[in-house]
Amino acid sequence: MQKQKLFILGAGAVILLVLSTVLFMMDSDQQVIQSDQVSNGAGSETAVQEENSSPDEGAGTEGGSISVESTEENGTASLDEEEEEEYRSRAEDALDEYTPSDYESFSYDAFESHAYLYTIYQQQAEDSVIEQDAIQSNSELLALELEGWHDYAAEEYGFTFNEQDFLDYVEGEQESSPVEEADVRILVEELEAVSSTAASQQLEFQYARPYIWSQIQDEAADDAGVTPEETSEWNQLYFEIEQRVFERIAESNPSFMEGEPE
């Protein structure tokens, strides 16, 4: 995984944003499936080891605060001071431009809001300026996809969001790749100063898909009548489920597959 200024580079900038979105989604998919560490526990740190898709912070509860100590120790220790400052400056600029409201956890509104913020945050590192409408469309597409995963998992496997399970999952993920996730860690730290709920929901945006997959993968394997042992077998199962999710999204929102949410 994510400006109200002059639209400087015309169509080229829009294409850049679309490509950024595609790369975000592809990176999420790759990280969900690329690990060779395969386990058979649905609540364990995943079978098809996921999307280290982003954040870092350990977490946050509504009305509480996100624990970031371990991430700071691991991430900052290997992060160049200049890079750290650059990330923090970008995060501050992004929050000056757009600050998410607090929404219900794992909701479309929360996903869209934090996709919008993260897209602005990413664009702070680019020389181009992207039209606000393009950022909005990008955010809606990402939110539709994450909502689609949530709804599919809830309807097919009885998935429900458990905050503590989610935070435990995030903690494990952030410890596995602290440096790679430094940009999100810093964004969440800056969000924490604004709203602990908003900080938590940025984590939800970043980790929703891999977390959901970690919760449903064993039941999905049982339903499919397969017993994956190799990473490639888990990958195949993941892509089959992802295809079903996309088909459901397309049924209720036909323009999704064309890259335009309704």
Model confidence pLDDT, tens digit, residues 178-231 = 667 788 889 999 999 999 999 999 999 999 999 999 999 999 999 999 999 999
Rounded distance, CA 100 to CA 111, Å?
Answer: 10
Model confidence pLDDT, tens digit, residues 226-258 = 999 999 999 999 999 999 999 999 998 887 666
Rounded distance, CA 82 to CA 67, Å?
Answer: 24
* DSSP secondary structure, 91-132, as one string: HHHHHHH--PPP--TT-HHHHHHHHHHHHHHHHTTSSS---H
Phi, psi of 62 (to 5 degrees): -60, 125
Is the pLDDT confidence value at 26 over 60? no
The predicted structure's pLDDT at residue 50? 43
Model confidence pLDDT, tens digit, residues 128-173 = 677 888 999 999 999 999 999 999 999 999 999 999 999 999 988 8
| Single-letter code of the amino acid located at 207 | Y
Radius of gyration of the chain (CA): 18
Domain ranges of the chain: 10-26+56-143+158-207
Q: Is the pTM for the entire model greater than 0.85? A: no
